[in-house]
Amino acid sequence: MKQHEILLRSQQKPENCWAVEDIYPTEEAWSQALAESASFPAELAAYQGRLSESAQTLLAYLTRMEEIGHQADRLFVYTMLRSDEDTAHSGHQAMKGKCFSFLVELSSAMAFEGPELVAISDEMLDAFYAQEPGLEKYRRYLTKARLEKPHILSQAEEQLLAGAAEVGAAPSSIFNTFNNADMTFPAVTDSEGKSYPLTNGSYISLMERSDRTLRENAFHSFYGVYQSFENTLAAAYNAEVRKNLFFAKARKYRSALASALEPVEVPEAVYHNLVDTVRKNLPKMHRYMGLRKKAMGLSELHMYDIYANMLPEAEEVVPFAQAKDEVIEAMGVLGEEYQRVLKSSFDQRWMDIYENKGKRSGAYSCGCAGVHPFVLLNHKETLDSEFTLAHELGHAMHSYLSDHNQPSIYNEYVLFVAEVASTCNEALLMQYLLARTDDPKKRAVLINYFLEQFRTTLYRQTMLAEFELKAHELAAAGETLTAENLKEMYLQLNRDYYGPETVVDEEIAIEWARIPHFYRHFYVYQYATGFSAAIALSTRILKEGAPAVADYLKFLSGGCSTDPISLLKIAGVDMSTPAPVESALDLFGSLIDELEGLLAQ
């Protein structure tokens, strides 16, 4: 498949598309399952006022709630996958809308749960555990629910907030539809006049090309389109931030950050430690930008130069078949069973491989209880796409192992630990590739790629996390987020992070407007913390072997059976301290030293 060819969804080969039929064989079967689920809200609502009635009643409710949650998850995942295949497909968007309405109804019907669980006294709950051994399965769930006591409202208030969830989803829905389906970009030309289609999916691959004219044209055209809609996009993001502040205040959290971190048991210090530690290490980033400028032979390093390979030997095409084989082999260090399941993921069509018109941009992995995970890709046959494959399969294997080792009520891991598994796969792939070459040029290419992972994952995601925190703080202070103040804030952050060796072009000020993760509040920092933890874990796996692998697989199998900080301690990393971030940044500095030496040869 040619990299510049973007197909219609109908033109995709079935073997390159995910097997959504493994959830429901047809759309009609999904519709029937949704219809059969219509009684679920009333069924759960029938337990209202009864959760403290007896141990048996509480167990019956929790058991049925878990079963219904399992079915609801399948209904939603199917519609999400179908709508993401082609975001302009009105039928699939309508299915997703129907499913979301059902989920809101289900959530509203369960609004009594939080208040009633909190109202049960410790003495009564202890007696229930003694009377009904089956409740032991749900001890973690009950304990976590009761930790939220300060943020559980009255039944009427809970019902109101549950109903508001559908309205609260509007900013994200508007952004995603506008960004993926409605925004179009002019074709761009290279130095020879050859034309290339420009899309959200193709932008980064164009920015990686060696042709500087193509990169500059793509950069200016891409962000020029975003600038033409900057007020609309600022209004959407302002609404998203206001929504986050509203729900945080309604639930009596001290801030939007606290409302995002407390429910997943991540201390706020983790967030602040990350930003502070990376800030202290910005001189290393500035030094790397200087090395990049020198290696590329540029008098000025612009923002459209930072994704291009700074080494000519780096422009190797990596076909999907090669990426597949190397990822499978690299994960052999995690044991035969892990590798066997990984191989089967390709045969069972867990993934949707190539871009098509209207397809959601980027990449993700999605678990589905009782079915194998699903992976969305937009593969471009580059080294970066190979690492994206390893990354998303890390997520998928995490989902697979948690689903096979935890009951469905505990099989979904929180986002904080999710990025650890995916990035550990990337680190293991890097070490696998480095171990197989002594050639200075090839090693320089790989080390430079590794340095780029530090830049894009540890430094860049921390910069985005800092922007997100500043935006919420600005809004909390009573300011309206506008295109003007968002651009000003984002431009200054880029100047701080990229430093004096980089010409921070004015157009980059609008980049915040294209980032979908900003519509999942306080999400992006987890890429940076996950990267830091993954560096520590991959190092331990390669150094210690079987004992480290055993601990790591326990972590991957843990789901949300305990808090994320404790889960990572099982694997051998303590994220409650800045040590993993500091250690990763020390490695970043030493890799810069090595690359400088290789380039001098």
Q: Which residue's entry shows tokens 């830091």?
A: 532
Q: Is 157 a catalytic residue?
A: no
Residues 6+ apart with CB under 8 A from 507: 219, 220, 223, 224, 227, 303
**Cross-strand pairs, 371:** 368
**Is 435 buried (19+), middle (13-18) or exposed (0-12) by CB count in 10 A?**
exposed
Q: Rounded distance, CA 206 to CA 199, Å? A: 10
**Which residue is catalytic, options 355, 392, 468, 511?**
392
Q: Rounded distance, CA 53 to CA 71, Å? A: 27
Contact between 51 and 113 (Cβ < 8 Å): yes
Residues 6+ apart with CB under 8 A from 234: 481, 482, 483, 486, 513
DSSP class per residue in 493-538: HHHHHH-TTEE--GGGGGGGGG-GGGGSTT-THHHHHHHHHHHHHH
Instruction: Give residue 514's region: left, alpha or beta (phi > 0; psi -120 to 50).
Output: alpha
Among residues 216, 194, 197, 195, which one has the least CA distance to residue 207? 216
Residue 188 vs residues 130, 201, 380: alpha-carbon distances, Å: 70, 14, 18
CB 126: neighbour CB atoms within 10 A? Answer: 10
Q: Rounded distance, CA 291 to CA 598, Å? A: 12
Q: Which residues are catalytic?
A: 392
